């Protein structure tokens, strides 16, 4: 690169970085049928000046993409690995060697998230006995590997680990069923100067209660509630300060708190829209930029937005919105304007992913001459149970489609998630492939991206891949 070009590029990068709220990061989940190439995602983070990323695993390909990026990384350990790490210290040492030591020379790893919301009520205590010993073993292994004070282990926790019977923050305390283990975890975090990592979702307060005042979920004028000498105008502050009270009551009032997840979904529910997501982020990022904090913890706060990309394979048990938390779509393209700096440039679109390759511009739809719609019922059930129809529900972006449109949407989602396979657009002779965009109004009929697997297939040719697979089956 010519010196003048390098100086210009460096100056632009400094401007992007200077305009970002420095305490803001993003969560990057991987439960997608066609994940973007990690190098493309890291490029997108850099283009938007995002300096912190939180992962839910420690996949080597993903983590290595951060090499030389200047982005601070939190790697994660899934819940299904907690028992092994809790029971065997050697496994914790091996995990650190494989996932930290191999990467840390090139990647700025700052934290290890041990588990992911392991004490959720819905888990019925299945991780109560394994989370804390796994946390101990991972931090011990990090220390022995020479990362004491440099890389800290913590536990990403849902805000349901604490509660307040009166809905006033000052009544907060840990849930009775997790109180003992939470005190162990908190004491350990305090001893190791590690943060309490909590996930707070104002959207869920609105989703779970029809009587919840909508404005209280945002930052622009909710009716105040009074708690002692403090007024709360939004549920985020009230929730965060419930944790502050909880820690105070248990002797850890000065423990650092980081927000591990906070955001707003854009589809899958009547209140999950790009417009409301923009309203939420505008208010939240402005507060972050102003370093306002909460009434009990004023000043700078650190938070990871949730999330970066939509994930079409997430469980929808909590609700259809689970697959639509992304600020960006599945293909890395922005959904709504967002100003990561919080400076009030609220019409600014973020920079989308570059270099994304798509499959052919074709869609799988219901045949025009289909008359007997009862034949379609088992086919649409099959398509939706094996793909993502979460945008068809009440209040969602594709809720206004007619019956034929619903069927075509389901067929196309299955077809795209099956890599546009010819066999995936048959549906007992009721479907056909068309070249005209099947999208209707605000309802997007997506064309899937080429992920790493498809690119390999195209590069070597279908005949080569078929021959390779045949040789493998011959060896069995």
The residue that leads in pLDDT, 462 or 94, is 94
In which region does residue 124 sit, left (phi positive, over 0), alpha (psi from -120 to 50) or beta (all else)?
Answer: left
Residue 457, pLDDT above cutoff 60: no
Phi, psi of 5 (to 5 degrees): -65, -40
Three-state secondary structure call for residue 429: helix
Beta strands of 102-236 (E only): which ranges? 108-114, 152-154, 156-158, 162-163, 173-174, 196-199, 225-227, 230-232
pLDDT at residue 363 in the model: 98
In which region does residue 93 sit, left (phi positive, over 0), alpha (psi from -120 to 50) or beta (all else)?
Answer: alpha
Structure tokens at 442: 């605000």
Round to the nearest angstrom and report the end-to-end CA distance of the chain.
51
Bridge partners (DSSP) listed for residue 259:
198, 303
Structure tokens at 390: 């979460």
Chain mean position to CA 277: 14
pLDDT at residue 304 in the model: 98
Pairing of the two strands 431-434 and 363-366: antiparallel
CB 303 within 8 A of CB 54: no
At 20-31, the pLDDT tens digits run 555 899 999 999
Out of 22-26, 222-226, 253-257, 370-374, least confident range: 22-26
Residue 474, pLDDT above cutoff 80: no
Q: Average of pLDDT values for 365-393?
A: 96
Give the span between the Cα atoms of 382 and 410, in whole angstroms: 9
Length of the chain: 476
Tokens 């073993």 belong to 137
Residue 2, pLDDT above cutoff 90: no
At 406-456, the pLDDT tens digits run 999 999 999 999 999 999 999 999 999 999 999 999 999 999 999 865 544
Tokens 């005209």 belong to 436
pLDDT at residue 23 in the model: 84
- Contacts of residue 239, defined as CB under 8 A and 6 or more positions apart, other chains included, come to 159, 169, 200, 202, 205
Tokens 């479907």 belong to 431
CB count in 10 Å sphere of residue 163: 15
Model's pTM, two decimal places? Answer: 0.90
User: What residues are annotated to the active site?
Assistant: 117, 261
The band of 221, judged by pLDDT with boundaries at 50, 70 and 90, is confident
Buried b vs exposed e over 268-301: b needs ≥16 C-beta within 10 Å? Answer: bbebbbbebbbbbbbbbbbbbbeeebbbbeeeeb
At 325-372, the pLDDT tens digits run 999 999 999 999 999 999 888 898 999 999 999 999 999 999 999 999
Residue 460, pLDDT above cutoff 60: no
CB 225 within 8 A of CB 213: no
pLDDT at residue 21 in the model: 52
Max CA pair span of the chain:
75
Peptide bond into 249 cis (omega under 30): no
Give the span between the Cα atoms of 466 and 473, in whole angstroms: 11
**What dihedral do alpha carbons 20, 25, 26, 28 form, nearest 10°?**
130
Sign of CA pseudo-dihedral 415, 416, 419, 420? positive
Give the span between the Cα atoms of 119 and 75, in whole angstroms: 19
**Mean pLDDT across the chain:** 91
Give the span between the Cα atoms of 213 and 187, in whole angstroms: 36
The residue that leads in pLDDT, 464 or 412, is 412
Give the span between the Cα atoms of 460 and 468, in whole angstroms: 11
pLDDT at residue 32 in the model: 97
Give the span between the Cα atoms of 186 and 159, in whole angstroms: 14
Give the span between the Cα atoms of 276 and 253, in whole angstroms: 34
**Alpha-helical runs (H) found in 97-217:** 131-142, 179-191, 202-208
């Amino acid at each position: 690169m010519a010196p003048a070009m390098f100086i210009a590029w460096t100056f632009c990068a400094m401007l992007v970085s200077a305009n970002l709220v420095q305490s803001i990061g993003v969560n990057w989940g991987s439960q997608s049928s066609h994940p973007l190439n990690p190098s493309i995602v890291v490029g997108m983070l850099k283009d938007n000046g995002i300096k912190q990323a939180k992962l839910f695993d420690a996949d080597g390909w993903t983590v290595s993409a951060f090499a030389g990026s200047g982005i601070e990384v939190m790697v994660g350990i899934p819940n299904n690995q907690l028992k092994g790490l809790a029971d065997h210290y050697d496994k914790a040492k091996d995990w650190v060697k494989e996932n930290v030591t191999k990467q840390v020379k090139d990647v700025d790893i700052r934290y290890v998230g041990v588990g992911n919301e392991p004490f959720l009520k819905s888990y019925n205590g299945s991780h109560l006995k394994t989370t804390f010993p796994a946390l101990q073993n991972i931090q011990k292994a990090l220390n022995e590997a020479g990362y004491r004070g440099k890389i800290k282990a913590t536990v990403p926790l849902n805000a349901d680990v604490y509660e307040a019977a009166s809905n006033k923050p000052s009544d907060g305390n840990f849930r009775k069923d997790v109180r003992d283990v939470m005190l162990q975890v908190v004491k350990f975090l305090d001893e190791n100067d590690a943060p309490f990592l909590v996930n707070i979702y104002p959207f869920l307060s609105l989703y779970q209660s029809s009587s919840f005042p909508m404005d209280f979920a945002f930052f622009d004028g909710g009716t105040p509630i009074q708690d002692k000498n403090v007024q709360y105008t939004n549920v985020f502050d009230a929730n965060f300060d419930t944790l502050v009270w909880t820690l105070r009551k248990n002797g850890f009032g000065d423990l650092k708190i980081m927000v591990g997840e906070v955001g707003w979904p854009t589809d899958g529910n009547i209140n999950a829209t790009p417009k409301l997501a923009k309203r939420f982020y505008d208010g939240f990022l402005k507060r972050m930029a102003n370093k306002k904090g909460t009434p009990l913890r004023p000043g700078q706060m650190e938070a990871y937005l949730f999330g970066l990309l939509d994930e079409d394979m997430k469980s929808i048990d909590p609700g259809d919105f689970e697959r639509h938390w992304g600020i960006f779509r599945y293909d890395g393209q922005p959904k709504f304007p967002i100003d990561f700096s919080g400076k009030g440039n609220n019409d600014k679109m973020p920079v989308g992913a570059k270099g994304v390759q798509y499959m052919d511009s074709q869609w799988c739809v219901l045949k025009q001459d289909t008359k007997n719609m009862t034949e379609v019922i088992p086919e649409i059930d099959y398509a939706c149970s094996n793909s993502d129809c979460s945008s068809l529900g009440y209040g969602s972006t594709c809720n206004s489609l007619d019956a034929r449109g619903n069927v075509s949407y389901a067929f196309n989602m299955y077809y795209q998630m099956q890599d546009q396979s010819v066999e995936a657009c048959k549906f007992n002779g009721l479907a056909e492939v068309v070249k005209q965009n099947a999208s209707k109004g605000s309802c997007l009929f997506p064309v899937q991206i080429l992920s790493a697997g498809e690119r390999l297939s195209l590069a070597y040719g279908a005949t080569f891949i078929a021959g390779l697979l045949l040789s493998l089956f011959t060896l069995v």
